[in-house]
Amino acid sequence: MEKENSRRDFLIKSAALVIGSITASSILNKAFASGNFAETIFIEPDGGKFTLPALPYGYDALEPHIDKMTMEIHHDKHHQAYVTNLNKALETFDVSTIGGSPTFENMFNNAGKLPPALRNNGGGHYNHSLFWTLMTPPKAGAAAPSGKLTDAITKTFGSMDEFKKQFGDAATKRFGSGWAWLVKTSDGKLVIGSTANQDNPLMNLDSVEVKGTPVLALDVWEHAYYLKNQNRRADYIASFWNVVNWETAESLYAATK
């Protein structure tokens, strides 16, 4: 525990150097847009209010793999609703019970103390903000990672194909709504898991079986694929591999010790 605390102190100090004492939603949104997620969990939203970050590409940019209408509704309606309802839930929540400010770090570390509206919408806002940056318009050479993440995936799972199979299995087998994750644990290991609803691997909950820093995330709620794929979640998972932003995944993997 002491080691964990000192690591956290180090991360907080590192983040403070990067962001200074400025607390602005614009910085949070810029960090989301750039995929600079190692810092986003520490930043306080302006006056406790979160805002919807813009998509880092056009609504039709992931065609033909993820369709324009799905992206419009998913970002403008679903994600916006998580932001709106998160802000609403914070109006009546005593943030002193989670460390004094509604940063994602404070919310997720104290996830067991959060009322359902905060847990669900806080998770929903963070997870979707992360998810957008983990996709990118399909282009030659984008279908596979390179560098240290590739090495770690190959070493852990045997091959990239085997990793995709296991990640796809986690996404397929998540019953109902939830997310599939590739996570870097506090001892530096890569593990695959899934969470229900809008829970995520940063949440300090017994029901979250795979804890650590998200490296890759896939939304498997039906709203993420039903318009194009109807009930065929497997088709949607296959499409996802064409638009993965491996550069963001690599930066997330590299950002944590």
Residues binding Mn ion (CB under 5 A): 219, 221, 224
Judge whether 156 and 190 are in contact, CB under 8 Å: yes
Beta carbon of residue 224, minimum distance to Mn ion (angstroms, whole number): 5
Q: Which is nearer to Mn ion, 159 or 230 (CB)?
A: 230
- Shortest Å, Cβ 129 to Mn ion: 11
With respect to Mn ion, which residue has the nearer C-beta, 37 or 179?
Answer: 179
Residues 74 and 223 sit within 8 Å (Cβ to Cβ): yes
Shortest spacing between CB 16 and Mn ion, in angstroms: 31
The residue (of 145 and 201) whose beta carbon lies closer to Mn ion is 201
C-alpha triplet 87, 91, 95: angle, nearest 5°: 100
152/237 with CB nearer Mn ion: 237
Q: From its phi and psi, is residue 241 left (phi > 0), alpha (psi between -120 and 50) or beta? A: alpha
Give the residue nearest to Mn ion (CB): 219
Residue 233, CA distances (Å) to 214, 239, 245 in order: 21, 10, 20
The nearer residue to Mn ion, 79 or 250, going by C-beta atoms, is 79
Q: Smallest distance from the beta carbon of 72 to Mn ion, in angstroms? A: 13
Which DSSP category does 25 fall into?
Answer: H
Q: Least distance from C-beta 160 to Mn ion, angstroms?
A: 26
**Tokens 């590192």 label which residue?**
14
| Rounded-to-integer distance, Cα 191 and Cα 47, Å | 36
